[in-house]
A and B are shown apart, each in its own frame.
Chain A
C-alpha cells in the first residue's frame, strides 16, 4: 500500500518535473524569438527546437526562402527551396523525405517555415508555438511604437486654449507694457521650440525646468500675477537625464486642473533634490485637489480623457524606462491641493540627455 502510494507520488512528481521543464523550454523559446525571426536569438531558438524534437536538423526559414537559422547539418539549397516552395504555395505542411516543412502562420499571415529532418514528435504544435512567439515579438514592437506615438501626441497636444490665451495675454500687454510683452513672446517661442523639438527621448532636468519656467511665466501673466511661483532646485540634480516631457505635463496639469478652477490667488512650487542615488522632483499646488480614488483611476488610465493623457502617460513612461517601482506618487485630497512626486534613479544605463 505504502509502496504504491510512494510510487504514485514518484510518478506524479516526475510528471510535474516534466511539465516544469517543458514550460521553461517554452519560455526560453519565447525569449530567443523576442526580436523576431531576423533577431539575434533565432540561432539559439533553432538549437532549442532541435533538442525539443530530438531531430537531426532544424532550419528556420523566412518568406524569401532564406535560411535564417539552422541547427544540425543544413539541407542543400535546392532541397530547401523545393520543400519551401511546396509549403508556401499551399500554406500547408509539406514532406520531401528526408525533410518536412511546417508553415509559420503569425496573426493569420504566412511569415516563414520550420524545416525539420528526422523528427520524432509532431511538428504542427511546435510550429504553432513558434508562430505564437513571433506574434509576441510583433506585439512587443507595436507596444513600443505606441509609446512613441503617445509621446508625439503629448508633444503636439499643446492645447489650442493655451495658445489662444498666451497670444491674447501678450497682445494685451503690447501697448501698456512692451518690455514684458517682448519677454513673454520670447518665452513663448522657447516653449514652442522645446515642445516641438523632435530629437531624443531624454532631456536634462535643467532643460525640462527651463520649459516649465517659460510655460509658468506665460500662465502667470494670464493670471495677472495672482499666481505665486516658486522653483527650488538643488544644483546636484540639474544635469540628471530624465525622459523628455515628464515635468512639464505635470505642471500643466497642476495649473489646469488644480489652480484654474480655484477662485482667488494660487501658488505652485516645483522643487528638486537628490536623495542618495535618487533624484526627486516634486510639483505642488494649493488648488482644488481631487479625490484620492479619482487620482488612482487617472493613473490607471481610466479617468476622463482630458486628464488621462498627461498623468497616465508620464506614469507609464517612467515605469517603462525605470521599472515598475518608479511610477508617479500623488498625494491629494479635495480642497487641499495636490502634490505629485517623481522619483527616479540619477543614473540608468541607456538614459542619456542629448
Chain B
C-alpha cells in the first residue's frame, strides 16, 4: 500500500511540475531572456541524465549483476562512456546543424525524403525495443508493491504514461526531467546507504568477497557461451556507440545555446551518470547475499525492490520498499515519456506528413503497441532488451551520424543501404537469439550481442556503396557548416 502511495505522490509531483514548471520562467522583467538563454548546463545535464537513466539502470543492472556476476557492470560503463563519444563526435555538430531528430539530420545532410522516412521507421524500431523493457519494469514493480498480476501492471503503466503525456507532458520539459533525475538518485541512493549500514559487518564482508573465476570475474559472459571477452567487447561497442544514435537523446542538446555548451553538457551528463551507477552495484552486491533465491526461481529484475524487505523487516522495510519503488517508477515514467514523444514525433511528423500532425493519437498508438509487445516479454531481462535497442542504434544511426558529420563523400544511396543492412542484421540477430537456442560458443554471443559484427558491417556498407556514387554538390558546404565554430 505504501508503495502505491509513493508512486501516486510521484505522479502528482511530476504533473504539477509539468504544468507549472514549464511556465516557471515567468517574468515581467526584461532580464528574463538573458536568464533563460543561460539555462545552466548543470540543469540541462540533469535533464538529459533524468531521461537517460531508465528502468534498465534502476532495476535491470542490479538484476543482471545478480544473475551473471560483476561483469554486468560493463553495461554501466558503456551507458556512461557513450557520452564520451557523444561529446567528441556529435554533440557540437548536431547543435550547429539545427536538426532536432535523426530524420531531420538525414534530411539536412542528404536531402532525400526517402532517407527521412527510412530513418523514421528505424526510430520506431529502436523506440519500441527500448519501451518494452520499460513497461516490463513498471509491470514488475507494480506487481511487487500491489500484488496485481503482471499484465495489469503493464496496461496500467501504458495508461499512466499516455495520460500524463496528454495532460501536459507533451511539452518536453527540461524541469520535469531534471526533477526525475533527483528523484531517482535520492530514492535509490538513500535506501542503498541505509541498507549498507543496516546489513551488518558480516554481510558486508561476504558481499565483497569475490572469486575471480565465476561470479566475480570482471568480464560479462552471455548465457554461458564461454566467450566472455568477445561478449564484453560487443556489449561495449553497442552501448557506447548506441548512445550516439539514440534518437531521444540527441534532441536534448538543442537546449544549449551554443555548440560549446552542448559539449559541456555532455561532460556534465558523464559525471551525473557515473555518480548514479554506483548504487545499482550496491543493490547487486547485497542482493547476492540476501536474496540469492531470485536467481533460481524468481525474476532477477526485481532485486532492487525486493531487497529492502529482505534486509529490514517491519514498517521501515515497507517504507524503504515504497521509496525504491517510487524511484523505479520515476525511471520508467521519465524515460518512457521521452521515448514515446520521440516515437510519436516520428510517426506523425516524418511518416505521415499530411495535415497538422496528430500527436496525441500517435502517442496513444505508440503506447498501445508497446504494451502489446510487453505482455509476452516477462521473461526477457530488462537490460538485455535495452542492450538490443542500443545495438540497433549503434548499427544504424551511429554510422549515419558519424559518417554524415565527418565524411563529405556519403551519398543518399550509401546511407540507405547501410541503414537497411544495419537494422535488418541487428534486429534479426536479436530475434534469432530469442527464438532459437544455438549451442554454446561464439554464435550465441554474435546473436545475443550482435554489435561486434553489425556495427562494422553497417559502416562498411555505407562507405562501399557511397564510394562509386557522387555526393551532391552542396555536401561540402553542408559538412563545413557542421564544423564552423559559432
Q: Which residues of A contact B (CB under 8 A)?
A: 183, 187, 206, 209-210, 213-214, 217, 228-236, 238-239, 241, 271, 273-278, 325-326, 343, 345-347, 349, 351-353
Q: Which residue of B lies closest to A349 (CB)?
A: B107
B101 touches A347 (CB 8 A): yes
Q: Is B345 an interface residue (CB 8 A)?
A: yes
Could you give 16 example pairs across A and B, Cβ below 8 Å?
Answer: A183-B30, A206-B33, A213-B30, A230-B28, A231-B27, A234-B171, A234-B174, A239-B98, A239-B257, A271-B23, A274-B172, A276-B170, A343-B356, A349-B107, A352-B98, A353-B98
* 0/1 string, B302-338, CB within 8 A of A gives 1: 0000000000000000000000000000000000000
A353–B345 Cα distance when bound, in Å, is 23
A271–B255 Cα distance when bound, in Å, is 17
Q: Is B146 an interface residue (CB 8 A)?
A: no
Point out the residues of chain A lying under 8 angstroms from B32, CB to CB.
213, 231, 233
B357 touches A276 (CB 8 A): yes
Point out the residues of chain A lying under 8 angstroms from B170, CB to CB.
275-276
Which residues B163-179 have CB closer than 8 A to chain A?
A: 170-174
Q: Which residue of A lies closest to B172 (CB)?
A: A274
Q: Which residue of B lies closest to A239 (CB)?
A: B254
B108 touches A277 (CB 8 A): no
A217 touches B30 (CB 8 A): yes
A325–B36 Cα distance when bound, in Å, is 30
Given contacts A229-B28, A277-B357, A347-B98, contact A236 B255 (CB under 8 A): yes
B345 touches A276 (CB 8 A): yes
Chain A proximity of B325: nearest CB distance (Å): 30
* 0/1 string, B81-112, CB within 8 A of A gives 1: 00000000000000000111100100110010
Point out the residues of chain B lying under 8 angstroms from A275, CB to CB.
170-171, 359
- Ranked 8 nearest A-B pairs via Cβ: A277-B349, A276-B345, A347-B104, A273-B171, A277-B345, A235-B39, A232-B23, A347-B100
A351–B100 Cα distance when bound, in Å, is 13
Q: Is B14 an interface residue (CB 8 A)?
A: no
Chain B proximity of A233: nearest CB distance (Å): 6
Point out the residues of chain B lying under 8 angstroms from A213, CB to CB.
30, 32-33
A345–B101 Cα distance when bound, in Å, is 12
Point out the residues of chain A lying under 8 angstroms from B23, CB to CB.
232, 271
Chain A proximity of B74: nearest CB distance (Å): 33
Chain B proximity of A174: nearest CB distance (Å): 19
Which residues B18-35 have CB closer than 8 A to chain A?
A: 22-23, 25-28, 30, 32-33
Q: Is B37 an interface residue (CB 8 A)?
A: yes
Q: Which residue of B lies closest to A278 (CB)?
A: B357
A273–B254 Cα distance when bound, in Å, is 13
Instruction: Given contacts A233-B32, A276-B349, A277-B345, list 18 more A-B pairs with CB under 8 A.
Output: A210-B33, A214-B30, A233-B33, A233-B36, A234-B171, A234-B173, A234-B174, A235-B25, A235-B255, A236-B172, A238-B257, A239-B98, A275-B171, A276-B172, A276-B341, A277-B101, A278-B357, A349-B107
When the two chains form the complex, which single residue of A230, A235, A325 contacts B356, counting CB atoms closer than 8 Å?
A325
Q: Is B355 an interface residue (CB 8 A)?
A: yes
Point out the residues of chain B lying under 8 angstroms from A239, CB to CB.
98, 254, 257
A209–B111 Cα distance when bound, in Å, is 30
Point out the residues of chain B lying under 8 angstroms from A343, CB to CB.
356
Which residues B144-183 have CB closer than 8 A to chain A?
A: 170-174
A232 touches B355 (CB 8 A): no
Chain B proximity of A210: nearest CB distance (Å): 6
Which residues B182-208 have CB closer than 8 A to chain A?
A: none
Q: Is B348 an interface residue (CB 8 A)?
A: yes
A277–B171 Cα distance when bound, in Å, is 10
Point out the residues of chain B lying under 8 angstroms from A345, CB to CB.
349
A191–B107 Cα distance when bound, in Å, is 35
B98 touches A234 (CB 8 A): no
Q: Is B344 an interface residue (CB 8 A)?
A: yes
B174 touches A236 (CB 8 A): yes
B37 touches A277 (CB 8 A): no
Point out the residues of chain A lying under 8 angstroms from B99, CB to CB.
347
* 0/1 string, B350-362, CB within 8 A of A gives 1: 1000011101000
A238 touches B36 (CB 8 A): yes
Which residues B99-146 have CB closer than 8 A to chain A?
A: 99-101, 104, 107-108, 111
A228–B344 Cα distance when bound, in Å, is 37
A234 touches B357 (CB 8 A): no
Q: Which residue of B lies closest to A324 (CB)?
A: B355
Chain A proximity of B280: nearest CB distance (Å): 30
* 0/1 string, B447-469, CB within 8 A of A gives 1: 00000000000000000000000
Point out the residues of chain B lying under 8 angstroms from A238, CB to CB.
36-37, 257
A274 touches B171 (CB 8 A): yes
Point out the residues of chain A lying under 8 angstroms from B172, CB to CB.
236, 274, 276
Point out the residues of chain B lying under 8 angstroms from A217, CB to CB.
30
Chain A proximity of B362: nearest CB distance (Å): 8
A236–B345 Cα distance when bound, in Å, is 15
A349 touches B357 (CB 8 A): no
A352–B478 Cα distance when bound, in Å, is 12
Chain A proximity of B131: nearest CB distance (Å): 16
A299–B109 Cα distance when bound, in Å, is 36
A234 touches B22 (CB 8 A): yes
Point out the residues of chain A lying under 8 angstroms from B344, CB to CB.
276
A347–B104 Cα distance when bound, in Å, is 7
Chain A proximity of B340: nearest CB distance (Å): 10
Chain A proximity of B228: nearest CB distance (Å): 42
A206–B258 Cα distance when bound, in Å, is 13
Chain A proximity of B34: nearest CB distance (Å): 9
A229–B26 Cα distance when bound, in Å, is 10
A229–B39 Cα distance when bound, in Å, is 22
Which residues B353-402 have CB closer than 8 A to chain A?
A: 355-357, 359
Chain B proximity of A56: nearest CB distance (Å): 32
A241–B180 Cα distance when bound, in Å, is 29
Point out the residues of chain A lying under 8 angstroms from B171, CB to CB.
234, 236, 273-275
Chain B proximity of A203: nearest CB distance (Å): 13
Point out the residues of chain B lying under 8 angstroms from A230, CB to CB.
26-28
